């Protein structure tokens, strides 16, 4: 446990399972004072029992990224207790499944409300704290913002168009704000995992109309969802993503992007190097369309 690590204050969104859970635990084990936030902290009994047993510097805090009041209250509580926030990990998110035509506006808006506007809401509350002179303890402000994007921030799959759109949007937002925040000593980092064996599939939402057998897309959606689900069964573990996030946070000069998982690396390379028409065929083959 490093002395520097002990002094750093981190907040992670979506800590009740998967990547957020693993990241919160690893950060606390590395000595960061970790606020593991969740929209329902009653789900975090297991995390609390590990924290108690290992006497980790981790505190559970309620934070729903879609709720202004909840975000404001959580940030104010952290600042009143610790006086600063050094690192924010924007991790909360879920997947919306269904063919585009079957998605309702409400379902698409809810998807953006969590995966994209949720990041914006939390980050805008945290930035004034990070910019303040007292932040970071060195008298100059500063901090690190880690945005958990996805391979789907660059590579689109069918049947999750709204999810893909939130992650493409997050990539653009992150690139843009990185320029604005650099002069304040605030680093922005993107994490781009491939399929991860978290609760992601269990927590995903199936569009109402996609469930209707009369939908002209129902068979297509069933097939693609099955393929994506099977990819998640023997997937990279959330702990691998957590390790990458912690390594990036601890790095003096972090990369801007970290791709996690061999599937993601292969897809990203192919997307970069292949003509798009060949790439499309490759995706169609993978999804077995
Ligand atoms: N699993 C993958 O294959 C994969 C791949 C690439 C990127 N990602 C990204 O990784 C991130 C974490 O996902 P995961 O794989 O760890 O899935 P997960 O196990 O389902 O975790 C998602 C977390 O987000 C939380 N969450 C959802 N809506 C929220 C809200 N409104 N406010 C606060 N928390 C909320 C969930 O809380 P509840 O328990 O209350 O639902 C849960 O803690 C997501 O942004 C996801 O897009 C995942």
Q: Is 89 in the pocket of ligand 1 (CB under 6 A)?
A: no
Which phi and psi angles does 98 have, rounded to 5°? 150, 150
How many angstroms is it from 76 CA to the middle of ligand 1? 23
Low-confidence ranges of the chain (pLDDT < 50): 1-6
Beta bridge partners of 187: 144
| Atom number in ligand 1 closest to CA 113 | 31
How many angstroms is it from 278 CA to the middle of ligand 1? 32
For residue 42, the 8-state DSSP code is G
Sequence-distant (6+) residues with CB within 8 A of 287 are 157, 158, 223, 224, 227
How many angstroms is it from 134 CA to the middle of ligand 1? 32
Which phi and psi angles does 160 have, rounded to 5°? -130, 40
Residues serving a catalytic function are 163
Q: Pick the closest to residue 78 from 58, 54, 92, 93 (CA basis).
A: 58
- 63 and 13 in contact (C-beta within 8 Å)? yes
Q: Is 65 in the pocket of ligand 1 (CB under 6 A)?
A: yes
């Amino acid at each position: 446990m490093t002395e520097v690590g002990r002094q750093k204050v981190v907040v992670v969104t979506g800590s009740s399972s998967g990547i957020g859970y693993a990241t919160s635990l690893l950060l606390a084990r590395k000595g960061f004072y970790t606020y593991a936030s969740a929209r329902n902290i009653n789900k975090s009994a297991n995390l609390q029992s590990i924290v108690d047993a290992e006497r980790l510097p981790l505190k559970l805090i309620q934070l729903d990224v879609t709720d202004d009041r909840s975000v404001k209250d959580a940030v104010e509580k952290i600042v009143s207790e610790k006086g600063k926030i050094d690192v924010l990990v924007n991790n909360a998110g879920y997947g919306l499944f269904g063919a585009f035509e079957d998605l309702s506006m409400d379902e698409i808006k809810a998807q953006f409300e969590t995966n994209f506007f949720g990041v914006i809401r939390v980050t805008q509350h945290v930035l004034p704290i990070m910019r303040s002179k007292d932040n970071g303890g060195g008298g100059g402000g500063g901090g690190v913002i880690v945005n958990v994007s996805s391979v789907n921030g660059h590579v689109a799959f069918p049947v999750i168009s709204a999810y893909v759109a939130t992650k493409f949007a997050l990539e653009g937002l992150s690139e843009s704000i990185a320029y604005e925040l650099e002069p304040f000593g605030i680093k922005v980092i993107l994490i781009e995992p491939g399929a991860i064996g978290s609760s992601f599939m269990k927590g995903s939402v199936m569009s109402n109309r996609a469930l209707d057998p009369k939908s002209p897309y129902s068979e297509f959606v069933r097939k693609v969802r099955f393929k994506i689900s099977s990819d998640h069964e023997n997937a990279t573990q959330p702990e691998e993503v957590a390790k990458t996030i912690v390594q990036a946070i601890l790095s003096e000069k972090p990369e801007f992007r970290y791709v996690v998982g061999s599937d993601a690396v292969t897809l990203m390379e192919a997307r970069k190097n292949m003509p798009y028409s060949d790439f499309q065929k490759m995706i169609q083959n993978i999804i077995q369309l």
